[in-house]
Amino acid sequence: MTTTSKPIGDAKQVRANGTQIHYVEAGQGPPLLLLHGGAVSTNPIWNGHPFAYVSHMGVLAERFRVIAPDTRGCGRTRHDGAAVTFDQLVDDVLALADALDLAAPALCGFSEGATTATIAALRSPRRFRAVVNHAGYDFFNAASPSFAMMRQMFGGSAAATRPDPDAFERAFSASPDMRATLEIMKMDQDAGGGPGYWKTYLSLAFERVTRSPGYTFEDLARISAPTLILTGDRDRFCSTEEAVTAFRRLARGELAVLPAVGHIITPLAITVAMDFIRRHVADPIN
C-alpha cells in the first residue's frame, strides 16, 4: 500500500445543518455526492489506500461533478457534542445538497458511507437520482455479525459497550497494511482535531457502528430511486446472501457481486458504480 499527498480537487466549506462541512469538489457534469467509509476521509494522504475514494476521484470527475464531504466528526468536519448517529449524518447530507443547490444528485457511498446514503434515500425517496450502496447494507440486518466485529475492533471485545483506543490500536497492528492504515488515520484525524483526536473520533463513532441504526431490509422498499447493491464475494462484513436480501426489497434495485474482492474499493467497483449512475442520471424522478 502506497499513499501520496497529491490534491484530489478543490477543498471547500459550507455551513449546513448547524456545522461547517468540509468537502472536496472535482469535475463537471451531473452532481454526485460521494460518501467515504468509517475512519477515512477526503484528505489526500489517503490517496492509494483501498478503503478510500480519494484514489478514484480523478476517474469519477471525468464524468460527474463530484462532491465528497468529510462526515461530521471526521477529517476536517468538526463536531462538538455527543456521539454522532446515522440520522445526523443523513441530516448533514440532505442539508449539504440543499446548501449547494444540487438538483437530484446521484448518491454513492462505501461501507459506513453506503449505510448513510441508503438511509438518506429511504428518508427522502424523491431526492436522489440514483443510489449506490457499496458494502454498507449489512447494517440493515439487526442480527448482522458486523456489529460484534465492530465492537471487537473498536472496544476490544464482542460485548464491549464503550470504545477502547488501546484495543483499537492493537487490532490495527496485526499486519503491516493495517498498521499503516492506523498511522494514516491518526495523522488525518489529529490534523483536523489536534493531538489525540483520533481517540475522540472513535468515541463519536462507536455507538453507530456497533448497533443497528433502526432501519431494516424491509425499509428499503421505501426507496424509489434506482439503487445498486454492490459487493465483493469475499467481503467479511457484507455477505452475498445479505446482498440478495437487500436487492429483493428494492423497487428499482440492481445487484453486482465482484469476484475475488473483499471489503475494499477497486477500479472495477468504480467502473460498475459509474456505469449504473450514468444509465440513470437522465431518468425522471418518480
Nearest Cα neighbor of 281 from 17, 33, 2, 5 is 33
CATH fold for domain 10-141+215-280? Rossmann fold (3.40.50)
**Domain range annotation of the chain:** 10-141+215-280
Q: For residue 57, what is its C-alpha cell?
A: 476521484
Output DSSP code: residue 284: P
At 60 the pLDDT is 98
pLDDT at 9: 85
Q: How many helices and strands (H and E) does the chain possess?
A: 9, 8
Q: Which among 115, 150, 121, 152 has a CA at the least distance from the CA of 134?
A: 115
The tens place of each residue's pLDDT in the chain, 286 residues long, gives: 544 445 578 999 999 999 999 999 999 999 999 999 999 999 999 999 999 999 999 999 999 999 999 999 999 999 988 999 999 999 999 999 999 999 899 999 999 999 999 999 999 999 999 999 999 999 999 999 999 999 999 999 999 999 999 999 999 998 999 999 999 999 999 998 999 999 999 999 999 999 999 999 999 999 999 999 999 999 999 999 999 999 999 999 999 999 999 999 999 999 999 999 999 987 666 5
Query: What pLDDT sits at residue 283?
Result: 65
Q: Which helix (H) or strand (E) holds 140?
A: none
pLDDT of residue 6: 55
The Cα 261–Cα 279 span in angstroms is 24
Cα–Cα distance measured from residue 144 to residue 209, given in angstroms and rounded to the nearest whole number: 11
pLDDT of residue 7: 58
> Does residue 65 sit in helix, strand or coil?
strand
User: In this predicted structure, what is the pLDDT of residue 192?
Assistant: 87
